[in-house]
Structures are given as C-alpha cells and as structure tokens.
Amino acid sequence: MESHHLYGMKHRNLALAENLSLAANKIDSVKQTEVAISGGGIIGLSAALELARAGVQVTVFDRARAMAEASSAAAGMLAASDPDNPIALRPLAMLSARLYSQFLAQVEELSGERVPIRTRQTFQGSPELPEGFTSLTAEQLQAVAPGIVCGGLHFFSLDEGSLAPGDLAFALPKAVRAAGVSLVENTQITRVRERDAAVEIETTAGRWTAGKFVHASGAWAAQLSGLPVAPRKGQMVMIEEPRHASLKAVLRTPEIYLVPRGDRRIVVGATVEDAGFDKQIDNGAIEGLLDKAASLWPPVREARILESWAGLRPATPDALPVIDALGDRSWIAAGHFRNGILLAPATAQLLRQMILDEPADIDLRNFSSRRFASAAQELSVR
Ligand SMILES: Cc1cc2nc3c(=O)[nH]c(=O)nc-3n(C[C@H](O)[C@H](O)[C@H](O)COP(=O)(O)OP(=O)(O)OC[C@H]3O[C@@H](n4cnc5c(N)ncnc54)[C@H](O)[C@@H]3O)c2cc1C
C-alpha cells in the first residue's frame, strides 16, 4: 500500500517536473524582438535599416533568401517620372528619388560594397509629348541610341538613374546586418496575432513575440495581411550589346524598355502577366520582347542572349502601394508593383515615421489599406 502510494507520489512529482520543464522550454523557445518584419526584399530590408539606424532592435524573416524575389528580378530603373505611373504615386516617387543617393551611400558605407548608378538618363518615347518637355532631335537620339527607330513616338529626355538590382541584392543584406539587424533566412512566418501586449508570431522555425510587426512580404503579402496584393509576373531578357552599336541611356516606351548596365549588357523588359506564382520562362514571351526591342533599336537583332528570368511584382488593384498601420502594433508596406526599387527609401522613411510616431513627410491617404474595404471580397490569391 505504502510503496504504491510512494510510487504514485514519485510518478506525480516526475510528471509535474516534466511539465514545468516543458513550460520552461516553451518560454525559452519563444524568442523576442522589438520589431519583426516579414519579408527580406528591398522593402523589408530598407525598412529594417531605417529602424535600426533609429536605435530599434529589428528581426527580418524571409521564407527563403533575402533579396531573391522581385527585388533581384527588377530592371533597376528609378523611374520617378515615367508618364505611365499613376499620378497619385508622384509625391512618393519624388520623395524617394530625392532620398536615393543618401540611401545608396548608407548601404555602401555599411556593407563595404559598391552599388553604382549605371545610367543617368532615360529617353522616353510617348504618343504625346507631355507639357513642359521638348522633343529630342534626330541628332540627339542617334548620338545616344544609334539606329533608333522612333515609330511615330515623341522622345524626350528624363534625368533618371538606374542601378543593377544584383548589386543591391549583394550589398543590402550585408548593410542591414552591419547595422545590427537580425536577418533570419529560410524561415517563413506562418501566423501573426496582435495581442494587447505584443505580437505573437509563428514561424517554420519556432515562435517569436515582437513589440511591433511589419508586413513586407511582396507578392505574398495577402497571405498574412488579407489585403488584395497579388503577383504580376514579369519576364525579362539580358542581351550582350553588339560590337558595332552602343546604347548610352535607358530607352523606354509604353511597350518596351532597354536598360544598359554600362558593361555591354542590356536588360530588355518586361511582360506584365497574371499567372499566379508561376515564374516559368516562356520562349515565345522572350522572343516577343526581343522583337519589340529590335523594332525600337534594330542592333538588338544581332545581340547575343545572355540570360532570361521572371519575377513577381506585388500588385494592388489600383497599382499603388499600401503603406499603412493595420492595428496598434502592425503595419504594412507592400504592393509596390513596378516601382519597388525606386520607392524603397521613401517607404522605409515613412514606415519609420509611422512606427516611431513621428510626423509623416507626405500625405499617405492614397496608400491607405482602407481603400480596399470594398475590394476585400476580390481577394483570390491566398
Ligand atoms: C520584371 C520586373 C521588373 C521590374 N523593374 C523595376 C524597375 O525597373 N524599377 C523599380 O523600381 N521596380 C521594378 N520592379 C518592381 C520591384 O522589383 C518590386 O516592386 C520590389 O522588388 C518589391 O519589393 P518587395 O520587398 O515588396 O518584394 P520582394 O522583393 O518580392 O520581397 C518579398 C520577400 O518576402 C518574402 N516572404 C514572402 N512571404 C513570406 C513569409 N510568410 N514569411 C517570410 N518571408 C516571406 C519572400 O521570400 C521575398 O523575399 C520590377 C519587378 C519585376 C518583376
């Protein structure tokens, strides 16, 4: 009787100890951070950099490798003055263009890597010459793009830069780490719950709590935020400039663009497709891009193809990003569509201002999440 009782006590004590140690393990295994960011693309990383420089402890999670999705697939045009941009994008685009050299200087200083501006001029072709612009003369056009065929378009010059996103994909993760950000790769955030005291985050590598949370998961942003951000596929092709012809500025029309990298490589882009999360290359689409490029700049016909790829632009129904608070402790910066490389520095600055309760540099109403209230039912990408 006694021995049975003792055995029972021992058993209960063991079970209690086991439970306590399980609970302790559970507490130990929940890691903490001041701000957690979902997505290590250019938007998530530039926001992390901005917050870290303001003294905030930041952890960025990426389901795969940082800067390996849209942010490295881009052409790299800083196209703040593209007449095809929505008008409502202009204040954000202009702010970001102004911040760009400072942003790159910071990235270079922290990473020790160069991210050079590859071109400083864009020759834009348009069916109508916008007010305030002068058409380029045939001599001006031939000097920069010898052999160009204008095809009835008016061409004018824009003082716009471009960079190689590969340079940034190499330097930016190094820069954020040097600024003290913890970058957790190959770790997907699977669930986020905002509580009164903290945000609870479940990932494929354990649980975290954060004081604040930022959704910056690009084309995947709908999955955690429920907002209508969907992937729009872009296929691109890189060619080698033929020996006898050299392109000295970006050539862009509503149909096609050619972006020289300054090292005899030219990027030709891009398709805009609704194909879900598919990133397959379709040879017909690549040939279509090369045909359009060759009818604008015929030397393309003799160019060697170096590589082709596809990326997923994060798109909202009105082609404007969503940069907003989603709760007391959560924010979103996603849907930068065709301009995320350009818009990253301004987005990061505005996020910092919202999160640290500082006044915002520009009016953010056009980028509010509330504009989708009626579009919520259209959500089809989860
Ligand atoms: C073909 C093409 C050409 C382009 N050209 C230009 C251009 O010339 N100029 C320009 O300014 N912009 C351009 N863009 C647009 C630009 O690339 C995008 O707007 C920008 O890269 C978006 O950045 P992002 O950080 O929001 O998304 P991404 O770079 O896609 O990053 C999102 C990240 O989130 C991660 N993620 C997703 N879900 C989760 C999760 N649950 N948990 C953890 N991580 C997650 C993903 O792995 C990914 O790394 C182009 C895009 C394409 C495709």
In angstroms, the Cα distances linking 292 to 42, 122, 270, 277 are 29, 18, 10, 25
How many domains are there within the chain?
2
CA distance linking residue 237 with residue 233, whole number of Å: 14
Q: Which atom of ligand 1 is nearest to the CA of 334?
A: 26
| pLDDT value, residue 29 | 78
Do the domain assignments include residue 105?
yes
- Cα 231 to averaged position of ligand 1 atoms, centre (Å): 10
Residues 186 and 311 in one domain: no
Q: Which segments of the chain are extended strands (E)? A: 31-38, 58-61, 117-119, 122-126, 154-158, 162-163, 182-184, 189-194, 199-203, 206-215, 230-240, 250-252, 257-260, 265-269, 304-315, 322-325, 330-334
Do the domain assignments include residue 382?
no
Contact criterion met (CB below 8 Å) for 78 and 162: yes
Residues 290 and 350 in one domain: no
Instruction: State both tokens at 255.
Output: 């149909």
| pLDDT mean over 20-32 | 60
- Cα 112 to averaged position of ligand 1 atoms, centre (Å): 24
Chain centroid to CA 216: how far?
8
Do the domain assignments include residue 139?
yes
Do the domain assignments include residue 333?
yes
Rounded percentage of the chain residues whose pLDDT exceeds 70: 90
Do the domain assignments include residue 379?
no
| 304 DSSP β-pair partners | 240
| pLDDT mean over 45-64 | 98
- Cα 223 to averaged position of ligand 1 atoms, centre (Å): 15
pLDDT, mean over the chain: 92
Q: Which atom of ligand 1 is nearest to the CA of 162?
A: 8
- Cα 278 to averaged position of ligand 1 atoms, centre (Å): 14
Q: pLDDT tens-digit profile of 338-364? A: 999 999 999 999 999 999 999 999 999
| pLDDT value, residue 1 | 36
Residues 111 and 67 in one domain: yes
Residues 234 and 91 in one domain: no
Ligand 1, atom 52: nearest CA belongs to which residue?
A: 74
Grade residue 16 by pLDDT with cuts at 50, 70 and 90.
Answer: very low
Enumerate residues lining ligand 1, CB below 6 A.
38-44, 61-64, 68-71, 73-77, 79, 188-189, 216-220, 223-224, 234, 236, 269-270, 311, 313-314, 334, 336-342
Residue among 209, 181, 217, 189 at smallest CA distance from 56: 181
Instruction: State both tokens at 239.
Output: 């060619």
Grade residue 373 by pLDDT with cuts at 50, 70 and 90.
Answer: confident
Instruction: State both tokens at 133.
Output: 């612009």
Residues 21 and 141 in one domain: no
Residues 56 and 147 in one domain: no
Domain boundary pick from 315, 339, 361: 315
CA distance linking residue 342 with residue 339, whole number of Å: 5
| Phi and psi at residue 252, to the nearest 5° | -140, 135
CA distance linking residue 44 with residue 42, whole number of Å: 6
Q: Which residues of 65-103 are buried (b: 16+ CB within 10 A; e: fewer)?
A: ebbbbbbbbbbbbbbbbbbebeeebeebbebbbebbeeb
Residues 105 and 43 in one domain: yes
- Cα 322 to averaged position of ligand 1 atoms, centre (Å): 14
Ligand 1, atom 10: nearest CA belongs to which residue?
A: 339
Grade residue 374 by pLDDT with cuts at 50, 70 and 90.
Answer: low
CATH code for position 328:
3.50.50.60
Residues 199 and 101 in one domain: yes
Instruction: State both tokens at 136.
Output: 């380029």
Chain centroid to CA 301: how far?
32
Q: How many CB atoms lie within 10 A of CB 147?
A: 14
Instruction: State both tokens at 280.
Output: 């397959």
Residues 213 and 247 in one domain: no
| pLDDT mean over 164-172 | 98
3-state SS record for 237-272: EEEECCCCCCCCCEEECCCCEEEECCCCEEEEECCC
Residues 289 and 191 in one domain: no
Q: Is 223 helix (H, G, I), strand (E, B) or coil?
A: helix
Residues 183 and 294 in one domain: no
Contact criterion met (CB below 8 Å) for 345 and 99: yes
| pLDDT value, residue 12 | 47
Q: How many CB atoms lie within 10 A of CB 359?
A: 6
| pLDDT value, residue 28 | 52
Following DSSP, what letter does each residue of 26-80 receive, concatenated? HHHHSEEEEEEEE--SHHHHHHHHHHHHTT--EEEE-SS-TT-SHHHHS--B--T
Residues 341 and 366 in one domain: yes
CA distance linking residue 268 with residue 288, whole number of Å: 11
Q: Which domain holds residue 21?
A: 1-117+162-228+318-371
| pLDDT value, residue 189 | 98
